[in-house]
Structure 1
Amino acid sequence: MPKKDFIIVAIDGGAAAGKSSTSRALSSRFNLMHVDTGSFYRATTLKLLEAGVPAQAGEALVTGLAGLQLDTKTEGNQASIVINGWTPDAAIRSEQVNANVSHYAAIPEVRKFLFDYQRSQAEIAKERGFAGLVMEGRDIGSIIFPEADLRLYLYADPAKRAARRAAEGLTDSIEQRDKMDSSRKSAPLQVPEGATLVDSSELNLEQVVEHVSELVSAAYEN
């Protein structure tokens, strides 16, 4: 029998490194609640854009964030942010959001606004009967859950990531996103100290999932 009945798996990495596909597969295999924090920033970006709030610190941003009430909806193993009763849809993947999300995500007030909400997902996962939480993003193992039972950093060759991004129908620049996310002052994209590195450049999804599943199984035993 596993020594732990609940674990937290933190998966970080740049765009199109395989975080989402791997996280979804793990959530199904181990009954983990899957949380895509990128969707949190995308949804928040969309709501701020709709309200005409510029991507810069200031009174307008503070007021705009104060008007956003957050909740969580689960469907199967997938958790979704709910903002003022609205559940994100395809609009968060629009070209407008793609072009702006890194700008809003770089603002400390925005990251602070979402910090406690992201941390709260662990308790929600426990309350809703999941065996653990798998959370993906760019600062999960370094900022949100540095105490996670398993911290992974997925990466791949930039050209392969760009091809994956294009296959998803997204047009944002991989290199530009990486540069902005890695150079921002607040919670930059980085390899968390002590995290396990997983290079998905030459591996298909099944191979990545099998490798990471072994690490998850070990995390339950330690």
Structure 2
Amino acid sequence: MKNYNIAIDGPAGAGKSTIAKKIAEQLKFIYVDTGAMYRAMGLFVISKEIAATDERSIAAACNEVTISLNYQEGVQQVLLNGDNVTGLIRSEEAGMMASAVAKINEVRKKMVQLQKKIASSSNVIMDGRDIGTVVLPKADLKIYLTAGSKERALRRFKELQEKGIDCNMNDIEQDIINRDNQDMQREISPLKKAEDAVLLDTSNLTVDEVVKEILSLFKAKIGDFDSAY
């Protein structure tokens, strides 16, 4: 039986994870948050007090890291060397370090190998920066999700406020802009839209509207919608 793959790429704060989770739930696909895997690696680098610019040490650290994804009641859990770090990886510091380590070839090779293995044996939806261009180049549907930097910063600001975390809107937007530049300019697997990906700007769309559009695109691609279940 054929395994169906959906790839969602885009910059930080575009809503990739939120959208992908909802689609996975409706299609009964496995959701693979590749960004979480890089964040886990970033968290490990931080714990070892390795500088983001020390690429040799980061590459060597790959040999000390095991990252796996488990699911508890349908919710993805990220394990770093056996420890559940699902909550810890969502810090701004971990996010910035994730973007830094993602530039390193040894790190990307390790992550991509795991991601491809998951997709080869299951119906999956993955989101990240290079899913449609590198990880799943033959995905049944590719989406490039984006939104303006101010809108993405506002979403992140609200998310942090709801968690009781003190933050500054301008600082968040600048952080997002910096991450965009870092992701787009990196030498290895830069963030970019795959030639056959559908561009969706979510700035003025609700989550439900985006989900509905992607499900419609998927149905059009595979023909028989029920066969995806």
Short-chain TM bin? 0.7 to 0.9
- Report matched runs for 1:126-205 at 5 Å: 126=122, 132-169=123-160, 172=172, 173-205=175-207
Aligned to 2:116: 119
Q: Give the CA deviation at 1:75.
A: 2.6
Instruction: Summarize deviations over 1:66-108 as a string: whole Å, max 9, x none.
Output: 0112333123444444221122232112243234222122222
- Report matched runs for 1:97-108 at 5 Å: 97-108=94-105
Q: Distance in 2 between matches of 1:165 and 1:93?
A: 11
- Report matched runs for 1:20-169 at 5 Å: 20-55=17-52, 56-58=54-56, 60-123=57-120, 126=122, 132-169=123-160
Aligned to 1:211: 213
Q: Distance in 1 between matches of 2:217 and 2:72?
A: 26
Q: Judge conservation of contact 1:39–1:92 (CA < 8 Å) in 2.
A: yes
Extract unaligned runs of 5+ from structure 1. 127-131
Instruction: Summarize deviations over 1:26-85 as a string: whole Å, max 9, x none.
Output: 011110111111111111110122123332221x33331101123331234444442211
Q: Judge conservation of contact 2:40–2:67 (CA < 8 Å) in 1.
A: no
Q: Distance in 2 between matches of 1:74 and 1:181?
A: 28
CA-atom RMSD in angstroms: 1.9
Extract unaligned runs of 5+ from structure 2. 161-166, 225-229
Q: Distance in 1 between matches of 2:223 and 2:72?
A: 28
Q: Judge conservation of contact 1:72–1:79 (CA < 8 Å) in 2.
A: yes
Counterpart residue type for residue 55 of structure 2: A
Q: Distance in 2 between matches of 1:217 and 1:78?
A: 25
The reply on whether 1:10 has 2:11 as its aligned counterpart is no
Greater alpha carbon shift after TM alignment, 23-32 vs 71-80: 71-80
Q: Distance in 2 between matches of 1:136 and 1:40?
A: 11
- The count of corresponding residues between Structure 1 and Structure 2 is 212
Instruction: Summarize deviations over 1:154-182 as a string: whole Å, max 9, x none.
Output: 11122111111211217642111111100
Query: What SS does structure 1 have at the residue aligned with 2:191?
Result: coil
Q: Distance in 2 between matches of 1:151 and 1:198?
A: 11
18 and 70 in structure 1: CA distance in 2 versus 1, 3 angstrom threshold: closer
160 and 139 in structure 1: CA distance in 2 versus 1, 3 angstrom threshold: same
Q: Give the CA deviation at 1:5.
A: 5.3
Q: Distance in 2 between matches of 1:216 and 1:80?
A: 27
Question: TM-score, normalising length from structure 1?
Answer: 0.87
Query: What SS does structure 1 have at the residue aligned with 2:55?
Result: coil
- Identity level (%): 32
